[in-house]
Every structure is written in C-alpha cells, then in structure tokens.
Structure 1
Amino acid sequence: MDIGSAILIIGFAALVAAFLLLVIGLAFSELMNSDIPRRLPNRRKLHMVHGLFVGIAIVGRILHRLGVCRQVSFIRWFVARFLARLNPVPAGLRVKDLDFCEVPVRVYEPTTACDGLRRGLVYFHGGGWVMGSIDSVDEVCRHIAQESDTTVVSVGYRLAPDHRYPAQLDDCEAATCHFLSSAEAGFSVDPRRVAVGGDGTGANLAAALCQRLATRQNGHLLSPCAQVLIYPALQMADFNLPSYQQNHAVPILFRGRMAFYFLQYLNGDISLCQDVLEGNHVPTDLRACFKEWLSPSNLPPECLIRGIFECPKPEYDGGVYHAVKAGLEPEVSPLLADSALIQKTPPTFILTCEYDVLRDDGILYRKRLLDLGKNVTWQHLTEGFHGMINFLNQGWLSFPSALQVMDGVVDYMKKL
C-alpha cells in the first residue's frame, strides 16, 4: 500500500470516528434530559431503547443538514430495515395485504371454525401522524385477531409531512366505510359488531372518526359499534395538564415532541412549538370554555400525587391561533367536541398509562363520556409508559408489560 492510499484510509477512518463521536455526544446530551421513573419495570432496557431512538434521530438530522435525505425518511427506513420484526404467520391466522378505496390495509382473519359471523376491528397505528406503519403494529393486530377471534383490518393511512390533516382522517374513514359495507359478504364479519381503534395518534383518529361518522348518521350508513382508545392523544389546547408536567421527559414521548407532532399534522410550522406549549394559541373565550373539560379538578386524586405547578398565564397570539386553529376543532381534538356530538359516539374502551404525557387526555375524555351517560371501560396501568404495545413480541426489544395492554383490549373485544 502506498503512502497516498494509507493517508486516505486514515483520513476516512478519522472522519467516521469523528462522526460517531458527534452522534454519541449528542445522544448522551439528549439522554441526560430524560427522566425514567424508578417504579417502571425494565428501566435499563427503556433507557437503552430511548438511546437508540435518539441516536437514529440525530443521524437523520445530520444527514438532513448535509442534504443527503430528509430526517423522517431516514428514521422510517432505519426502523423498517433494522427494527421492524415481522415473524412468520402463525397457524390459525390468514393475513392478506389489500387496498380499500385505494388505501392500503392488512387484513388478519382467524381461520378457526366460527358459528355465525365474526366481530371486526379497524385499527389505526400510532406514530404522531408522521411515523408508524402497518408493519409497526403487525404483532399487535395478530395478537388481537388470534386471542379475541376477531377479523382485524390495519389501515396504512398517509403520513405527514408529505400529507397534512385531514388526509389521514380521510383515509381512515374511506377504509372503515369500505369495510363496513363489505364486512358480511367479503369477510364473514357482522357489520354491526365492527369497532374502530388505535394507539396514540391512531386512537385520536379513531375518536375523531367516530365523531365524524356520528354527524353523518342516517338510516343507510352503519357506524362503528365501539371505539378502542389506547393511550389516546385527544386535545391540542393544553400541554400543561398534570400528566404533561409530571411526565414531560419520560421516554418515549416527551412533552415537546407531542406539540411537534400536532404541528406536523396541521401545517409543519414547528417554529410555533413553544407558543403552542405555552398555550398562546388559545383565545381567551375558548380557554374559558375548555377549562370546564380540562380542569385538573376533573382528574382522580391519585393523578395529582406526584405534584403540579401553576403555569404562567398564556399570552394570546392571534397569528398563532389562525395558523393552528384547526387543531382546536373536534376532528383534531375530540376531547373538545360539544356534548351533543360526544353523546352520539359509541361505547368506549380507554387505556391510559401513569408515565405518559397523554394520560390525562384519556382520563378527561372518560369523565366527559361518563357525565353524558355513555358506556366506558377504563384500564389504567400504574407502571405503564407511552408506546408499550410497539414492543410486543419484538425479540430483544420486547417489554413483557406490553401484554398487559393487549390483554385489556382482547378482553374488551370478546364482549362486543
């Protein structure tokens, strides 16, 4: 090897080492800002998983600034290539990839004998309307289908930032209505026993869809018989609820990240993130209206044990409001819908986790439903964190506690 080649090799190695040191340094800095409660089981694994996700995001950010690719494209590629674990289809289950009204779906059909028609579930994955896919909830949908003897339809709706609201909700509506209209003839499913559900922002889409369909009810259109909401994101008005304060730095969903996702869903203007976090986007009259539904006094006393603090009074900014006002409408914030609309929604299953910024969204929606005399089943995991179900049966990434979530969903589905 000549001297020139040796210098090139050494130079390349030094460049790679510098890049890795930069990523490690930035990731370490991010990790120091996290707060994993001691009560959480598998704390070390969660810390490691969070570090991996932070590292992927940082590499994506560097590649984006270098003009190589978009950060979100790199993260999606990496997760699909190295982290998504698609196990062989087990016996007793048939899995098919189809299109419903040009929306990609994956259908999970139990093959065991059944007397009469089966129940169904249309499922919307989470991921902040930006991440996630049919593959990311493959194990979740398999588990529900097998354990509850339910035909599950997983919907691959369009994602931000390439597609903004209401594209995602429109896709979910199109796929759901197609399945409701073809359930009996095409899938041996009783259309009167079809629920919709999802996790995180997927649960947001399920709740928003139930409200949208409720406004269009007529004698010829069937509606979901229930909504299954797993740690749902339900409002964009208040990012200072007790759960947002107490869990602001608990992986894998930080407080600031949730505001970021809402903005990506609406318009992509992340420069408004701090204003939204502070509540400067909510007009005074609307804030007074929302206070009735978002007051911490509506929460169980145990939700306040870890403490809350009084936030500075927001400074309303009309420009910010007009940029994000769709986020305060029911189709983005179902918790903020009028009582007359919520009254029309179907029976509900809500699962919340103690160490999740979205905990109070689910609990406050439960209270609104109960106050209106609606049928609600609530499960709360005192040692749960956001995103648990994505680690169901994922090899070294698995968290045993994910089964607690799935057991609650399966039990509820069996009763429909």
Structure 2
Amino acid sequence: MLILGLALLGSFFVGVFIWAVFQHFLTADIPSTLQQPIKFRFLHCMFLYMLTLAEIIEKLGICSVLRFLKLLQVCVRIKKDDRLTVTDLYFGTIPVRLFQPKAVSSGPRRGIIFFPGGGGFMGSLDLFHNLSSLLALETDSVLLLVGYRKLPDHHYPSIYQDCLNASIHFLKALKSYGVDPSRVVFCGDSIGGGYVACITQALVGRSDLPQIRAQVLVYPVTQVINLQLPSHWQNGNVPFLSQKFMMTCMFKYMVIDFHWWDAILGGAFIPPEVWRKYQKWLSADNIPRRFRKPGYRPLFPSPFNEAAYLENKHLLDIENAPLLRDDETIAQLPAAFVVSCEHDILRDDALLYMKRLEDQGVPVTWYHVEDGFHGSLLFFDKKFFSFPCSLKITNAVISYIKSIY
C-alpha cells in the first residue's frame, strides 16, 4: 500500500508538471530578443508548476493560493557575510532588517531604505536578504529593509502605511545608526518601487525630517488606472508578470470584486472628468514612439460605468497612483534613478513617471534594459539561473548609489 501510495503521489506531481509545461507553451510569450530563452522557459514552467499546485491546494480547502506561494519563501537560503552586522528589529509592529558594514568608517555612512517588491504577498525579509547585503557592502551604506504587512492577511493601504511609518522612524534616528542625514536614498523594485515614489512624495515639505537625497525605482508600479498602455499589449503574456497574474494580485490587495475585471481593464471605472484631468499624464501619447508597435490602437477608456467607479474609486488614490501627484509636489522631489525593462508589462509605468519628473525639472537618470524582464533583479545571485540583465540592473543601481556623495 505504501509503494502504491507513493507511486500515485509521484504520478500526481509528474502530471501537474506536464500540465504546467503545456500551459507555458500555450500561453507564455517569450520575446525573440531575450537572452537564454531555454533557462527562462524552464524557470517559468517551475513557476507555473508551483502556481498550479497552489490552485489545487486551494480547491481542496487546505489554504489559499497566495498563502501557499507566500509559505514557499521559507525555503529561501540567505547568505551570511562576516563583513556585515545584520539585525532584525521591530519599528512598532513593522519587522525590519538592518544591514551595517563592520569596516571602520571615517564618518557617517550613506543610508538606504529599501522597499521590496513581490506583488503584495511575497517580498519577505529573507527573499531580499542577499540583495540587501550586496547593496550595503558594495555602496558602503547602512541599509534598512522594510518587511511591510502583506496578503493574504493584510490589504490596502497596509503597505503604504508600513513603508511610511518605518521610513519616518528610521529618519528620526539616523545618527544612532551612523547614517549621514544628507545622504539617504529610497530604493525599491516593482510594487516597492511604486512605494518609493509614494513615500518620497509624502515626505515632501517635512521640516522635521532630513530631506531624501535620491530615489531609485526599479520597474516600478506608478499607476493602476490605464492598463491598456503599449507595454501591457506587448508584454501581457511575458513571464514572470503576466497581465492576469498582475491583476489578480492587484484585485486581492485592493479588495476588488473579480466581477469588475473587464471594467477595470477597460478603464470603465474612470469618470470622464477625471480622465480629462489626468489624460495628459496617463495617456500612451507620452510613451516614446519607438515603444509603440504598429497596430497599437486601444479603445480607452471604455464607456463610463458609475457602479464600477463607486466600488473601485480607491484605485485613483495618490497612494496607488503617484503619477497623479500635483505639479508642486513633483517639482520638489529629489533626483531619481529609473530602471525599465523592455519585456516588462510595467515598462511604460516607468516611462510615464520619468516624463512626469522631467517635466517638472527633477533630474532623472534612466537605465533601460533591452533584454530585461520583470523580476529579473532577484536572479542576480542565482548562479546558473542568473541572467545577464540581472547583473546589469544590480550593477547600475550600485553605481548610481555610489555616485551620491
């Protein structure tokens, strides 16, 4: 019986993997210019394999998809480095991890506050530990990694609140951590990059806190309003952030009924007067022509649906759309380093925000990765499973932060 049970279990897992491979070749769009496509395909098949297992477990009533995927992070291996002092702390109820170089410094060090990505459900302290260690060592900086509250237990606006509160707490105690108040950098990727923009904006004009010196936004989420931008059309089925997966995470975090899927996707929840006001910042017309492929002619927004607006108007909140912040605030923001990836559904979010900053005179350094894809940053130390674009982004971020004196 034991052998039979093991055989059936093994057959089940093999069957699930075959289904994941089938799904990959049926739905995934692998760009022809992407380097190392076989490795990329394999990793995406493994991702779909885990996702399929999660869906089966959810249907069996064991736990939700997001909770299962979140639990997988306990398997992450962190690398200890004797050159760093790493301390787990709590700022109130917010878990944070502090990285401090042990080497003697001639004076206060640069400070980095890092908001991790992860779609609002991943992004654990352990998942971003190795990246944080590298940034702290290579830039000789004190780095604070923020472990904000996530799905499935916490929803909007928990991430914004935790990032803001942790930042204020750290900024008020910089000297005790050996940080130079004139050299503090906000850094983050994906949803974390979006909250870099939000928190930097929220702290503008705070005379009781040190001014932020620079903001580093790696393929950030800067709006969840226009989901028909060219990059959504071109990269909607590119791993590891397909349109379906992105919207599922968004709906879960923002507590949106899936009944409104088409209305949100088509922009039917946007009142005409709101679109007229913000079209100048949200329109695809702001995307450089070379990023708009032939045949791109979306009908956006769809006819207005008042019920969709009343239930989902929080999508228009500044905390979810830093792109919509007023000109006066934008003009006071610190210099920015913006990373975009060609094969990323969020590519145009980065481009729109970059233009928004430049139009108000904010110095922007743009780094576009032609062979980059969403999530590539985290593969920087995965050896065989690393990609050239992963190292490009990591090195570019390090170089930019080191340039801040």
1:136 aligned to which of 127, 130, 133: 127
Cα distance in structure 1, aligned partners of 2:294 and 2:102:
47
Cα distance in structure 2, aligned partners of 1:11 and 1:111:
53
Cα distance change, pair 413–69 in 1 and its aligned pair in 2 (3 A): same
Cα distance in structure 2, aligned partners of 1:152 and 1:309:
44
1:102 aligned to which of 88, 93, 99: 93
Cα distance in structure 1, aligned partners of 2:270 and 2:236:
21
Q: Which residue of 1 aligns with 2:302?
A: 314
Q: Quick check: 1:350–1:378 contact (8 Å CA) kept in 2?
A: yes
1:226 aligned to which of 211, 214, 225: 214
Cα distance in structure 2, aligned partners of 1:20 and 1:281:
43
Q: Between the two proteins, what is the percent identity of the paired residues?
A: 35
Cα distance in structure 1, aligned partners of 2:20 and 2:103:
51
1:176 aligned to which of 158, 167, 173: 167
Cα distance change, pair 306–258 in 1 and its aligned pair in 2 (3 A): farther
1:67-82 correspondence runs (5 A) = 67-81=61-75
Q: Which residue of 2 aligns with 1:65?
A: 59
State the aligned residue count: 404
2:254 aligned to which of 260, 266, 271: 266
1:345-356 correspondence runs (5 A) = 345-356=333-344
Cα distance change, pair 71–323 in 1 and its aligned pair in 2 (3 A): same
Cα distance in structure 2, aligned partners of 1:50 and 1:208:
31
SS at match of 2:90: strand
Q: Which residue of 2 aligns with 1:340?
A: 328
SS at match of 2:244: helix
Q: Quick check: 1:339–1:372 contact (8 Å CA) kept in 2?
A: yes
Cα distance change, pair 218–125 in 1 and its aligned pair in 2 (3 A): closer
Q: CA deviation at 1:221?
A: 2.6
Q: CA deviation at 1:9?
A: 4.6
1:149 lines up with 2:121 in the alignment:
no
Cα distance change, pair 218–296 in 1 and its aligned pair in 2 (3 A): closer
SS at match of 1:192: strand
Code of the residue aligned with 1:303 in structure 2: it is: F
CA RMSD for the aligned pairs? 1.9
Q: Which residue of 2 aligns with 1:166?
A: 157
List alignment gaps of at least 5 residues for structure 2: none
SS at match of 1:136: coil
Give the TM-score taking structure 1 as reference length.
0.92
Q: Quick check: 1:329–1:337 contact (8 Å CA) kept in 2?
A: no
Cα distance in structure 1, aligned partners of 2:390 and 2:206:
39
Cα distance in structure 2, aligned partners of 1:223 and 1:315:
43
Cα distance in structure 2, aligned partners of 1:375 and 1:327:
28
Code of the residue aligned with 2:288 in structure 1: it is: P
Q: Which residue of 2 aligns with 1:208?
A: 198
Q: Which residue of 1 aligns with 2:84?
A: 93
Cα distance in structure 2, aligned partners of 1:400 and 1:22:
30
1:328 lines up with 2:316 in the alignment:
yes
Cα distance in structure 1, aligned partners of 2:139 and 2:295:
39
List alignment gaps of at least 5 residues for structure 1: none
Q: CA deviation at 1:156?
A: 0.4
Q: Which residue of 2 aligns with 1:250?
A: 238
Cα distance in structure 1, aligned partners of 2:103 and 2:301:
58
1:37 aligned to which of 28, 31, 36: 31
Deviates more, 1:288-297 or 1:224-233: 288-297
Q: CA deviation at 1:310?
A: 2.9
Q: Which residue of 1 aligns with 2:283?
A: 295
Cα distance in structure 2, aligned partners of 1:51 and 1:22:
11
Q: CA deviation at 1:15?
A: 5.8
Q: Which residue of 2 aligns with 1:56?
A: 50
Q: CA deviation at 1:341?
A: 2.4
SS at match of 2:127: helix
Cα distance in structure 2, aligned partners of 1:195 and 1:303:
30
Cα distance in structure 2, aligned partners of 1:389 and 1:307:
31
Q: Which residue of 2 aligns with 1:239?
A: 227
Instruction: Show CA shifts across 1:13-63 (max 9, x none).
Output: 346524642452255224420111111111111111111111101101101
Cα distance in structure 2, aligned partners of 1:400 and 1:9:
44
Q: Quick check: 2:16–2:49 contact (8 Å CA) kept in 1?
A: no
SS at match of 2:388: coil
Instruction: Show CA shifts across 1:285-329 (max 9, x none).
Output: 112222211222222222124652333651222222222211111
Q: Quick check: 2:343–2:371 contact (8 Å CA) kept in 1?
A: yes
Cα distance in structure 1, aligned partners of 2:31 and 2:332:
39
Code of the residue aligned with 2:402 in structure 1: it is: K
Q: Quick check: 1:118–1:149 contact (8 Å CA) kept in 2?
A: yes
SS at match of 2:203: helix
Cα distance in structure 2, aligned partners of 1:137 and 1:75:
16
Cα distance in structure 2, aligned partners of 1:345 and 1:41:
36
Cα distance in structure 2, aligned partners of 1:317 and 1:238:
15
Q: Quick check: 1:119–1:189 contact (8 Å CA) kept in 2?
A: yes
Instruction: Show CA shifts across 1:182-201 (max 9, x none).
Output: 111x2110122111120000
Q: Which residue of 1 aligns with 2:396?
A: 408
Q: Quick check: 1:256–1:273 contact (8 Å CA) kept in 2?
A: no
1:21 aligned to which of 10, 15, 20: 15
